[in-house]
Every structure is written in C-alpha cells, then in structure tokens.
Amino acid sequence: MRAQDSEIGKKYLTKTGISVEVVQKLPHQVVVKSDETGRDIAIPLEYELKEKKMNEEVMTPTEVSVKKVKKSNVVDEGLKTNLTTDEIVRKVLEVFPGTEEKSIRNLVSVRRSKMKKV
C-alpha cells in the first residue's frame, strides 16, 4: 500500500523490513517513527508500506543497508538511464515535491558535467 493510504497510529513495514508507526500525514509526505531508533522520518506519499502483522519478524538497521534518498541520487540514476532533463526534473519532483525546478535543472547540469569528466 502507498504511504498516503496508511492510517495514523498503525504499524507498517518499510520495503527494507524496518518497523515504523505512522505519526503524521502532511500534504506532500507522511511522517513515520522508526520503532528501532525512535526517530521521525518523512517519506513520500507514493512510498510502499506493508501492513505489519502481530508477530511478523522485522529487520534491525544493522541488518539492512539503509541508503538515504538524496536529490543527487535521483538525478544520477536518471542520467545513468539516459533520461532527458525534463524527465529527471519530473522524477525529482515526485520524490521531493516543492523543490524549485530551476534548482533541479542546475543540479542536473552539474551532475551531468561531473559524469562526463569521469
């Protein structure tokens, strides 16, 4: 199920198997609290969550390689798959709504020039 369809106060599992509780729903993201660390984490509305069953086994952060989603990661992935700048901008806006389009285009330009140098 998508995060936007989740219910406040219910427990879910992330894609990586971490147990979280939905604590707040905002217009462009959902805030969950990690059961393991107690930290609040903002996730995109489209992020997939799995409803947690009572005795379902969960993974701890030490068992999971957690990669923080950054705009540059989204841009780099788009460049590696030969997406156009407009397609990359749309992808970044899906994950990071509210970001200024001009700043995304600048980031695409910088990341593209760095990839050419390598």
Better pLDDT: 59 or 108:
108
Please indicate, yes or no, whether the overall pTM of this predicted structure exceeds 0.85: no
Residue 30 pLDDT grade (very low, low, confident, very high; cuts 50, 70, 90): very high
Query: Does the domain spanning 3-63 belong to CATH 2.30.30?
Result: yes
Residue 19 pLDDT grade (very low, low, confident, very high; cuts 50, 70, 90): confident
Structure tokens at 107: 């980031």
Please report, for the chain, the start and end positions of each structural domain, with discontinuous segments joined by +.
Answer: 3-63, 71-117
Query: In the prediction, which pLDDT does 66 show?
Result: 47
| Single-letter code of the amino acid located at 12 | Y
Residues 55 and 10: beta-carbon distance below 8 Å: no
CA angle, residues 34, 39, 45, in degrees to nearest 5 = 65
